[in-house]
Structure 1
Amino acid sequence: MGYRLSKIYTRTGDKGETGLSSGRRVPKDHPRIEAIGEIDTLNSQLGLLIAELVEQQAARPGLSELIDVLTPCQHRLFDLGGELAMPEYQALEAAEVARLEAAIDQWNDELGPLENFILPGGSRLIAQAHICRSFARSAERRVQHLNAEEPLREIVLAYLNRLSDLLFVAARLIGRRQSVNEVLWQAAPKA
């Protein structure tokens, strides 16, 4: 790729604009920058989830499979941010979406069907997986907004959609592997 930061601050963004790889200057609240920011936030939250999984894997060896599946997602999110910053850079491939789908299918086979609505909770790890899922949905909305103005490759949209699905199933699998019951939604009592 060849792009490296040799200086962290440049002062070129002090007036509310930032530069894209093409040299084009855009406002920092431009849909492209908003999308990049949401992907960065998701990647940071995913990093926290993976770090917590690593800390817990000695006590719960079944968590290492989640680490193996989720760790490449951080790299692909970085690629995705690169694609948004540098449209000529295209790193995401259909094989990555297929990888996520295979993991979802395998984990769902172990979990069985979901019969009730569940809430984000039960353990810190489960809740963090749901936080990642909600940030994936937010990133997806931002990318869809950008796509409406500046069309993107379909794989970008599909990847974020599938990643949020994966994170939902990962939250459920973490509960299973931790032997923690899912927190079931309870409707408000009728008065």
Structure 2
Amino acid sequence: MKIYTKAGDKGETSLFGGERVQKNNQRINAYGTVDELNAFIGLALTEIKSDEIRNVLIDLQNKLFIVGSDLATPDTEKNKKLNITRTGEDFIKKAEADIDIFTEKLDELRNFILPGGSKGSAMLHVCRTICRRAEREIVALKNFEKINENIIVFLNRISDLFFVLSRYENKVSNYPDTIWKPQ
């Protein structure tokens, strides 16, 4: 089977379920940014020292595939028979539990911190910012189309999770947080 189909050569693509849309459609922007986040998590995994963080990131990558398919499949009567796995509340609860677990291992945050430290930590901060952009894209999509509300909540939580994981990665890599000092 060839990887190229030529079906998108005129600037259109298919959503799951068959509907054709322009490649700059807001739904495509939304799940494309989720895909970008997933790819950058893959890059971050090449630099992460903590096995605990690696396990969380691999779990997130698998969940983000579900988020992408959820976004790529409009919730219509026609698509209900496709039996797509949707982003569930369990995703949110797991992210919150992970935030709590890693936060307990860190010193209390008393200042704003700057992204950076170890290379792995810096990459997790980039994941956080891509996640926030994905969240904005999905909120923009919500203005025009019905979406699964759990997606927005999940992305909001995991952006916080990336922040906590970046701090923990610095800790296990022996890099202190870089405190923001206003000029």
Q: Counterpart in 2 of 1:172?
A: 167
Stretch deviating more after TM superposition (135-144 or 88-97) = 88-97
Q: What SS does the corresponding residue of 2:105 show, helix, strand or coil? A: helix
Equivalent pairs counted in the alignment come to 175
Q: Which runs of 5+ in 2 are unaligned?
A: none
The 5 A counterparts of 1:109-188 are 109-188=104-183
Q: Counterpart in 1 of 2:14?
A: 19
Q: Distance in 2 between matches of 1:34 and 1:121?
A: 28
Pairing partner for 1:75 from 45, 62, 65:
62
* Alpha carbons 2:16, 2:69 under 8 Å: kept: no
Query: Which amino acid is 2:101 matched to?
Result: Q
Q: Deviations over 1:33-66 (max 9, x none)?
A: 001110010000011112222xx4xxxxxx1111
Identity %: 40
Q: Distance in 2 between matches of 1:7 and 1:91?
A: 29
The 4+ residue runs of structure 1 with deviation greater than 4 A are none
Q: Distance in 1 between matches of 2:132 and 2:143?
A: 17
Q: Deviations over 1:134-153 (max 9, x none)?
A: 00001111111111111211
Tell me the CA shift for residue 158 of structure 1: 0.9
The 5 A counterparts of 1:80-99 are 80-87=67-74, 88=79, 89-99=84-94
Tell me the CA shift for residue 76 of structure 1: 0.6
Q: Distance in 2 between matches of 1:171 and 1:20?
A: 34
Could you tell me the TM-score, scaled by structure 1's length?
A: 0.87
Q: Which runs of 5+ in 1 are unaligned?
A: 1-5, 57-62
Tell me the CA shift for residue 19 of structure 1: 1.1
Could you tell me the TM-score, scaled by structure 2's length?
A: 0.91
Q: Distance in 2 between matches of 1:47 and 1:81?
A: 16
* Alpha carbons 2:26, 2:141 under 8 Å: kept: yes
Q: Counterpart in 2 of 1:47?
A: 42
Tell me the CA shift for residue 129 of structure 1: 0.5
Query: Which amino acid is 1:69 matched to?
Result: V
